[in-house]
Amino acid sequence: MNWTKRNFAGRTIGHSLTRLRRRSAVVATYLGYLAMVSVWYLASAYQSVGLFILVSLLGLLMLSGLGVLVTSWVWNAANAPDPNLDERQRRVRDRAYLHSYQAFAGSVTAMGFYAAIAWDNGWWLPATWNQVQAVMWGVLLLALTLPAAIVAWTEPDLADEL
């Protein structure tokens, strides 16, 4: 399977997607989401139009990073079924899922412990439906994109070496 020719816009984008750009997309996706949720929380508290505009911009940043992950060869590298991959590609995919599970399980465990301690100590916990949604969508984003993000972060640059 030649990922470098696979894309949704009819353009060959594989070679142009350097590791720096891929890592930037990962940072934009996750930090963008965190920043968007945080600023939205502030915007709701202060009813500031400027902050709501900033929320929109951060949302666009997140979506642009997510778009790179989902539409590039990275998504197939992390999610394609066995028949579409050779033995090395399957190893890359399986390793991405292993690391994703370790990170995800660790995060969920940490959140569970935090919730238990926070409940006893009166620390912050999601109290409104909007706050619950923010956490829920964050967990969903992580669950669905973490393998692709790991591949995007770790794979070396595709070389022009046909």
Partner 1 sequence: MRKKKEATDTLNNAPMTIHNRLPVLRVERGLSRQDLADAVGVNYQTIGYLERGDYSPSLELAFRLSDYFGLPIEAIFSQEPLKPLSEELYHAAAS
Q: Candidates 2, 47, 121, 128: give the one binding partner 1 (CB under 8 A).
A: 2
User: What's the gap between Cα 66 and its chain centre?
Assistant: 6
Residues 6+ apart with CB under 8 A from 157: 18, 19
Q: How far is the CB of 161 from partner 1 (least distance, A)?
A: 5
Distance between CA atoms of residues 111 and 145, nearest Å: 19
For 39-52, give the DSSP string: HHHHHHHHT-HHHH
Window contacting partner 1 (CB under 8 A); options: 16-24, 45-53, 83-91, 125-133: 83-91
> Is residue 160 near partner 1 by the rule CB under 8 A?
no
Q: Candidates 89, 142, 149, 150: give the one binding partner 1 (CB under 8 A).
A: 89
Distance between CA atoms of residues 152 and 149, nearest Å: 5
Q: Candidates 10, 47, 88, 124: give the one binding partner 1 (CB under 8 A).
A: 88
Q: Which amino acid is at 21?
A: R
Q: How far is the CB of 154 from partner 1 (least distance, A)?
A: 13
Q: Which is nearer to partner 1, 3 or 33 (CB)?
A: 3
Window contacting partner 1 (CB under 8 A); options: 50-58, 61-69, 107-115, 154-162: 154-162
> Is residue 86 near partner 1 by the rule CB under 8 A?
yes
User: Hey, how many other C-beta atoms are within 10 angstroms of the C-beta on 157?
Assistant: 13
DSSP single-letter state for residue 9: S
Residues 6+ apart with CB under 8 A from 28: 61, 62, 64, 65
Q: How far is the CB of 6 from partner 1 (least distance, A)?
A: 12
Q: Which positions lie near partner 1, rule CB under 8 A?
A: 1-3, 86-89, 158-159, 161-162
